[in-house]
Amino acid sequence: MASHSLLLLPGDGIGPEVSDAAERIVDWFTRQGSVAFEIERDLIGGAAYDAHGQSIAESTMGLATSADAILFGAVGGPKWDGVPYDQRPEAGLLRLRKDLDLFANLRPAICYPALAGASSLKQEAIEGLDILILRELTGGVYFGEPKEIVTLENGDKRAVDTQVYTTPEIARLARVGFELARTRSGKVTSMEKRNVMRSGVLWNEVVTKVHAEEGYGDVTLEHMLADAGGMQLVRWPKQFDVIVTDNLFGDMLSDVAAMLTGSLGMLPSASLGAPDEASGMRKAMYEPVHGSAPDIAGTGAANPLAMIASFGMCLRYSFDMGQEADMLDAAMANALATGVRTADIADGGNAAGTGDMVDAVIAELEKLAA
């Protein structure tokens, strides 16, 4: 029987609550008997700072490097507002992304039929939506040097951030985009600002070249300026399949796309590295888009679906278990169709708790497996 190792990093606030929920789903799949998931838990974020004085311990980095995949909850909270900048809870998350070179961030925006009415867009614009934003995660203006605020001779200040991309950074992301599109509707829309940014010119050139020269002729490629893309995303999002874009535009566009579909509590993500030369497996971390939600932590009200859907992405992208991932997606959709709602997606009335939502998903998994 195949066995996969998972490192579970629950973190802070609602992180442990949604991680417990995901663990129940992982265990359900293990109980089906065709594959075993071995879960190891460790600390990250504020919880790690409290225990070790650092937001991720070296031993945890070791576990993260050797695990087949990482499931990450959420970090942060007011308790750690005063800790040194380098040790703030988010530093542990950024270190994981950077040290494991998780350059490809996948954020799906899927509209569950039962929640189509909850979107800020008209129902016909959103019903059946299934798009994927692929954001470059380890380069661009968030990391480029120089990055500084200097005081000028006249006392004014000058702030600089540097948008920088190399050919290989763009090419490897484009390849992931084309490969993902092949498993979906076969279309990639590349977004940049080539009209005003040199990095946009290079981005456009490299994506076009990878498409033409590396055998991706079966995938349709279109280019769109990122600002126009933002407008199109809220006008008619169903025109897109996979959107490939840089770190800064991806940050904004993925938040826009995400909110088309409703609550933060519904949104999963995956961050993938390059495939290992020997095994072909990619380093990968799966996490909900939401944070640690200190306002509801400990109340049992957190929506676990973003975390559970993140495990679904893990099945699909790390373990090639597309059928099981489809089954989990169907179980979540069916659970919502029965009317069960956590407070963040409830329209008034009595809301279900985290555990009730997991019970509902497991009940639907049982039905689908029967």
Is residue 100 at the binding interface for ligand NAD, with CB under 6 A as the rule?
Answer: no
DSSP at 350: P
Phi, psi of 360 (to 5 degrees): -65, -40
Quick one: which of 272, 306, 325, 358 contacts ligand NAD (CB under 6 A)?
Answer: 306
Quick one: which of 10, 16, 77, 312 contacts ligand NAD (CB under 6 A)?
Answer: 77
Residue type for position 334: N
Phi, psi of 126 (to 5 degrees): -115, -25
Q: Which two tokens stand for residue 240?
A: 């897109």
Is residue 250 at the binding interface for ligand NAD, with CB under 6 A as the rule?
Answer: no
Size of the site for ligand NAD (CB under 6 A): 22
- Catalytic annotation on 49? no
- When the beta carbons of 199 and 292 are compared against ligand NAD, the nearer one is 292
Give Cα 107 distance to the centre of its chain: 5
Is residue 76 at the binding interface for ligand NAD, with CB under 6 A as the rule?
Answer: yes
DSSP output for 118-181: GSSS-HHHHTT-EEEEEEE-SSGGGTEEEEEEEE-TTS-EEEEEE----HHHHHHHHHHHHHHH
Quick one: which of 16, 140, 291, 312 contacts ligand NAD (CB under 6 A)?
Answer: 291
Assess contact for 161 and 147: CB atoms under 8 A: yes
Distance of closest approach, residue 101 Cβ to ligand NAD, in angstroms = 18
- Catalytic annotation on 317? no
Stretch that binds ligand NAD, among 95-103, 137-145, 220-228, 295-303 (CB under 6 A): 295-303
- Closest C-alpha to 268, from 346, 189, 320, 325: 325
Quick one: which of 139, 250, 265, 268 contacts ligand NAD (CB under 6 A)?
Answer: 265
Residues 6+ apart with CB under 8 A from 31: none
- When the beta carbons of 188 and 293 are compared against ligand NAD, the nearer one is 293
- When the beta carbons of 199 and 342 are compared against ligand NAD, the nearer one is 342
Distance of closest approach, residue 38 Cβ to ligand NAD, in angstroms = 24
Binding mask 55-74 for ligand NAD (x = CB under 6 A): -------------------x
- Closest C-alpha to 296, from 48, 18, 10, 19: 18
- Catalytic annotation on 156? no
Neighbours of 357 (CB within 10 A): 26
Q: Which residues bind ligand NAD (CB under 6 A)?
A: 14, 18, 74-77, 90, 93, 264-265, 287, 290-296, 302-303, 306, 344
The catalytic residue positions are 142, 193, 227, 251, 255
